Structure 1
Amino acid sequence: MMLASPQRRGELAALLVVLGVLVLLPIGRSSELPVLVAALVGLGLLVRYRSSLLSDAGLRLILILFACYWLPIVFSGFAAVAPAKTWMTALETLRFLPLAVFVAWALRRAEVWPAVHVSIAAICGLWLVDAWIQYLTGNSLGGAPEAERLAGIFGAGNLKLGPVLATLAPFLLLVARERTGRLGLLLAFVALLIPILLAGSRAAWLSYALVCVVFAWRETRDFRRFLPLLIGVLLGVAFSIGMAWRGSAGFGARIERSLLALQGTSAAIDDASAGRLSIWQTAYAMIRAHPLTGVGARGFRYDYPQHAAPGDRFVDARTGVGASHAHQVVLEVLSETGLVGFLFWTLGVTVAIRAWRRARPAQRARAFAPGLALVAMCFPLNTHLAFYSAWWGLFFWWLLALFTAALAAAAQQADGDAANHRGGADQHAP
């Protein structure tokens, strides 16, 4: 048996570091260890290739997207309500740039991408099996579930199972479709649906619904076929909701609380949204008071009591702070980084979409799963975790790094080489 070359062993080690970030996400801040390794190597790569930072399309895309995320934090620091917190956030988020550069380097060969998709799907699948075991037995690797929700491997004190599964769903659905056809896609859809519903995050429900709509269109690409398939999916979801409602008191409580919104009053909508309406109203007041650069990244909780209505449930009289973030990405960006941040984020979204539209079919195929995951994560008509926080921000940038790596210049070259190879073979074919 031939041993793998040093180059192949290095590529495998780099891939394991990239995947290690995801594997360790449920375990506190331990995911920062592979991030540290990746960032150190990424810094070395930045120094080594500093002369080509602007000429290399892949590096240029990473730099632009990072600037659109990081510069608003810096600008918000000059008028921040909690300057120390904002400047520390600016320093901490610097690690995302070399992380993205490392990911682009680690996944520079087109040939590794099938293994990347399968590995991420497998990790998501293991978490899914663990969630099913918790549902059926009351225990999992993360211990017992929370009173009203499945928590899975993340544990009852860290209720992120629903948002993470919904965000990673494109990888599992894509691999199931490619490896086992439409039947596998249907089984993967059902396997994901129940744990996401029982995890109790209504934002995750909407994210997963968006992913399913995109996959339904991908399967049909024709409105006359798409509509019946979508109706079938909705009926399946309705049936699953009914079964979960009967089988889980916690899930039933979440549904009944959501139905309060049908009463139409502000108080009912606020209760149905778990107080989100109060948070959004306070965020709007912050935006009006700090329109240009916001209250400062991660300064939301410190300025919250100054704008909250009397008796606001999120104001802690003992600590003098309020809700931790705006729970909605547009309001988070506007309240914490102001109009400057909103313009930068809009520019970043525009640049990412243009990069996707200009990409070759093979690049789009690689970028489909991380791209759809980002859309599900950032879809503005939803509620969200904090994008400037250490944990969700890292998950966001890990996915963004995968997306940019799929569209990187090195991958373009690999596609071109493969096309040339095929063309040469065709010319010599009998």
Structure 2
Amino acid sequence: MTAVSPGSKFLNVLRSPLLPIWLVPALLPLGRSAEIGVALALVGCIGLFVRNPQALRGHDGARLFLMLWACYVVAALVSALDAVNPGKSWSTVASVLRYAPLGVYVAFAVRREPLVRSLYAGTALIVALWLVDAWVQALTGYSLGGAPEAVRLTGVFGAENLKFGPVLSTLAPFALWEARERWGRRGLVVAFLVLLGPVLLSGSRASWLAYAIVAVAFLWREVGNGKKFALCILALGAVGALGVFAALRTSDTFAARFDRTLLALQGSPDAIDYALAGRLRIWHAAERMIAEHPVNGVGVRGFRYDYAEHALPGDDFVIADGTGAMHAHQWVLEVASETGLVGLALWCIGIVLALRAWRRATRSARERAFAPAVALVAMAFPLNTHLAFYSAWWGLLFWWLVALYCAALSADLDERGL
């Protein structure tokens, strides 16, 4: 069988119904411009149901997505009933409705394995372009996004939008998956090393951990469990240590970031809080918020409006207008403080549904859904810090990945077109 080049796969994306899906990651550096893909998906979804009002019947991928999305949106809806800032909470509830047509569109557009592969190839190409730009910025100080931020590499996202590290580590599975498909294990190793530098220099500790999770997942995929896996973990750790050493010797900003991280080893609350850029204070405030609003929280996206009520005196996250930290910087605390135990229970139900779908899927379906599954694990690993999952931007990337996961699991089960 003739091999299909990444460029050909990318052209297939541009010529197919995959374009609205691909536009979401492609336009991420441009902020809300990524909503263009969502709008086009909505138009496509309307056209689908005009032609076939019963389209959802029997479509496992679309139904799984809608069940997961329902857990997310019902948690937000319940929290808005007595929110501390009703306007913000209700507008958030309204905004998350747009994820439903996006997910349904993805389920029908990515309906066969070749389409899954084409979309992965397009996403990998996006990541590759970001990497080229990031390495240019690391070596010359220039980037399509402008000069880097004072203490970190920012790539095409720019110094005013410090999301390069989190997004790069989250989408890394697509680049690694495509490299493995195209060039085997050697390609996988090279892609890992090419990604490692910008991830480290992005200065995002959360991204370092997320990329480590991605690396371990791909290593497990290659060698399985047992002694060989343990030996490979040691080798992976050695490579990571060499990468850190090289970054320490070549980047003063990385060295400063790394030294700040090491302060946490002192063990004192002040040292840990400083090493975590003040997040320890935010987490303690979130815990007090949860204790006072245990059932349905303070309202989705209401964290900043109730923060001052739970912050300790002298907390410099509290500003003159009475608001405070934007969100909890940890998804479990975000969900529990903003949507309460009801919302957290709904999220747990969603996680169980997603895991059950994985367990019941065929081996080929799991292989097909591996990249978005690993991306979601890295993105939402609970023992890490996170961006806000109910925010418009990070929430969109999260649900784009969920949509790909659901679609990929069922891509061999449904042959109906849009």
Change (3 A) 1:26 1:199: same
Query: SS at 1:115's partner residue?
Result: helix
CA distance in 1, matches of 2:280, 2:12: 52
CA distance in 2, matches of 1:239, 1:25: 31
Q: Is the 8 A contact 2:210 2:379 kept in 1?
A: yes
Partner of 2:407: 405
Change (3 A) 1:344 1:49: farther
CA distance in 2, matches of 1:9, 1:238: 40
1:252-310 Cα shifts (integer Å, max 9, x gaps): 11111111111111111000100010000000000001001000000000000000000
Change (3 A) 1:50 1:303: farther
Partner of 2:3: none
CA distance in 2, matches of 1:63, 1:190: 37
Change (3 A) 1:115 1:309: same
CA distance in 1, matches of 2:174, 2:260: 31
Q: Is the 8 A contact 1:35 1:99 kept in 2?
A: yes
Partner of 2:15: 12
Partner of 1:109: 112
1:382-410 Cα shifts (integer Å, max 9, x gaps): 000000000000000111111111123x5
Query: SS at 1:148's partner residue?
Result: coil
Partner of 1:156: 159
Matched to 2:170, the amino acid is T
Matched to 1:110, the amino acid is E
| Within-5 A mapping of 1:23-102 | 23-46=26-49, 49-51=52-54, 53=56, 55-102=58-105
Partner of 2:350: 348
Partner of 1:357: 359
Q: Structure 1 residue aligned with 2:299, among 273, 296, 299? A: 296
Query: SS at 1:319's partner residue?
Result: coil
Q: Structure 2 unaligned runs (5+)?
A: 1-10
Q: Structure 2 residue aligned with 1:382, among 381, 384, 392? A: 384
Q: Is the 8 A contact 1:39 1:96 kept in 2?
A: no
Change (3 A) 1:54 1:333: farther
Q: Whose relative contact order is higher, 1 or 2, with alpha carbons under 8 Å and at least 6 apart?
A: 2
CA distance in 2, matches of 1:140, 1:11: 25
Partner of 2:8: none
Matched to 1:100, the amino acid is G
Partner of 2:198: 195
Q: Is the 8 A contact 1:327 1:383 kept in 2?
A: yes
Q: CA deviation at 1:223?
A: 1.6
Change (3 A) 1:329 1:46: farther
Check if 1:262 corresponds to 2:261. no
Q: Structure 1 unaligned runs (5+)?
A: 1-7, 416-430
Counting matched residue pairs gives: 406
Check if 1:169 corresponds to 2:172. yes
CA distance in 1, matches of 2:251, 2:258: 11
Change (3 A) 1:376 1:10: closer
Q: CA deviation at 1:413?
A: 4.0
Q: CA deviation at 1:43?
A: 3.7
Check if 1:147 corresponds to 2:150. yes
Matched to 1:24, the amino acid is L
Check if 1:230 corresponds to 2:240. no
Q: Is the 8 A contact 1:45 1:101 kept in 2?
A: no
Name whichever of 245-254 and 108-117 sits farther off. Answer: 108-117
Matched to 1:267, the amino acid is D
Q: Is the 8 A contact 2:365 2:412 kept in 1?
A: yes
CA distance in 2, matches of 1:47, 1:348: 29
Matched to 2:177, the amino acid is L
Name whichever of 149-158 and 35-44 sits farther off. Answer: 35-44
Query: SS at 1:277's partner residue?
Result: helix
CA distance in 2, matches of 1:364, 1:387: 25
State the structure with more CA Rg. Answer: 1
CA distance in 1, matches of 2:114, 2:177: 17
Q: CA deviation at 1:56?
A: 3.1
Q: Structure 2 residue aligned with 1:308, among 308, 311, 318? A: 311
Change (3 A) 1:296 1:43: farther
